[in-house]
Amino acid sequence: MKELNKRHFLNYSILIPYLVLSILGLIIVFSTTVPHQIELGLSPYQLFRNQTIFFIFSLFMIAVIYKMKVEKLRSRGWFGILIPIMLALLFIARFFTPTINGAHGWISVPGIGTIQPAEYLKLVSVWFLSATFATKQNKIAAQDIDALFDRHKFWSNFVTGWRFWVILMIGAVVVMPDMGNALLIIISSSMVFAASGISYRWTTGFIKIFGGLSLFALAILKLTGGNIIPSVFSSITYVNKRFVAFANPFQDTGDSGHQMINGYYAMSNGGWFGRGLGNSIEKKGYLPEAHTDFVFAIVIEELGLIGAMIILGLIFFLIMRIFMVGISAKDPFNSMMAIGVAGMFFAQIFVNIGGISGLIPSTGVTFPFLSQGGNSLLTLSVGVGFVLNISADEKRRELAEKTEKYDVSDVSRLSLVEK
């Protein structure tokens, strides 16, 4: 039997949508950033060039991750290096960099642009929990919750346990303050927790508590008009403005509600079929952050509701294919990692669209692939690289099992070449 290279197991139902969305994202970035750069008196193509460089580097990272053995990716040794590096970068961003739109979190690197550690921490948290819970499957299968949570040695094991590091990662992002990425880490980590095999009572209980608290918080914002943060907390007044805009954007059209209202205008201008690619009115100085947080409003304005729905359909197809890899995977790490990546994608879409539509307060979360932001694109791409590798590993495993079932002699001749 002919040896099978790893490329024979490549999942094109994930790779092709990813490539289409990434290339479409470059077009949207070009359309939305050129007017923004001209308005600021900067090079019109600078942000587009940066996004293109990140895309090329993303393809390289996908290739590197795909070539690696899943056993190496499953190793927990990575996190003794990655998590301290991420936390150190967040510390630098918080205390040694200027604020951007009321928050820290970006580290300027000459020749590259900016690095946003919180973006990468989303994927690191999913990876960390997947690798951790994969080693606890015997305890989970036995429903040994005491052992899983180390209840009998709670304080002595807390600092070295997974709970401490998850809380630390979320807390480090919150103090930026970056509530959007903190929320994404919570949601995607919860997806891994739910997929780990822990009793459904724990999962459904967490969903009920989280959902109940979220609805209560949204109700409070609506009832109070969103003005709930005292003015003495000057460092996070921008958060209060977003709450006020969520409660009633038309209450302050010139300040807190300005972005939300112009986002509504952009979506209204688009109608069913849009004004045409590049013909947005709102991106020409009217809608702040038209190339990042509110890029999907510009997509609707230029491509119309139908064009936007086609893009959403393609993204949800990609998410479902990733999710199905996790559902069908037999290896615990493979399953949790794929489901966590799918959850990360879905959470980012939900939070972004929820923000621009007024369903939830705007949190500054970018739209996957379409928003300008090389850090976001690289994080999503690395996630896709993980899933492609996991999918190939599961296919190889399934094919080897089928071959062994029908002809044991074929197993020795059927191998997956890691090159």
pLDDT tens-digit series, residues 27-55: 999 998 888 788 878 888 888 999 999 99
The token pair at 314 is 């393609």
DSSP state at residue 336: H
Distance CA 328, CA 274 (A): 39
pLDDT band at 65, cuts 50/70/90?
Answer: very high
Residue 42 pairs in a beta bridge with: none
ω before 361 within 30° of 0 (cis)?
no
Computed over every residue of the chain, the mean pLDDT equals: 81
CB atoms within 10 A of CB 147: 15
The token pair at 194 is 């739910």
Most confident range, picked from 117-121, 252-256, 402-406: 117-121
Pick 230 or 136 by higher pLDDT: 136
pLDDT for residue 46: 87
Q: Is the pLDDT confidence value at 338 over 90?
A: yes
Cβ atoms of 297 and 266 closer than 8 Å: yes
pLDDT for residue 248: 73
Handedness of CA 55, 374, 326, 354 (dihedral sign): negative
pLDDT for residue 316: 95
pLDDT band at 291, cuts 50/70/90?
Answer: confident
pLDDT for residue 270: 85
Distance CA 128, CA 144 (A): 21
- Among 282, 306, 264, CA closest to 31: 282
Q: Using N-to-C axis directions, what is the helix angle for 295-328 and 332-357, rounded to 10°?
A: 160
Cβ atoms of 195 and 337 closer than 8 Å: no
Q: What is the mean pLDDT of residues 106-118?
A: 79
Question: What percent of the chain is modeled with pLDDT above 90?
Answer: 29
CB atoms within 10 A of CB 386: 26
> Which burial class, exposed, middle or buried, applies to 357 when counting CB atoms under 10 A from its CB (0-12, 13-18, 19+)?
middle
Residues sharing a CB contact under 8 Å with residue 101, sequence separation 6 or more, in sequence order: 238, 289, 364
| Whole-structure pTM value | 0.85
pLDDT for residue 327: 92
Residue 114 pairs in a beta bridge with: 108
Among 61-65, 144-148, 197-201, 362-366, whose mean pLDDT is lowest? Answer: 144-148
pLDDT for residue 7: 74
Q: What is the mean pLDDT of residues 72-78?
A: 85
Q: What is the mean pLDDT of residues 296-306?
A: 92
Pick 204 or 348 by higher pLDDT: 348
- Among 140, 151, 150, CA closest to 195: 140
Distance CA 280, CA 268 (A): 11
Interstrand relation of 107-109 and 113-115 (parallel, antiparallel or unpaired) = antiparallel
| DSSP characters over 147-167 | HHHTGGGHHHHHTTSHHHHHH
Pick 284 or 51 by higher pLDDT: 51
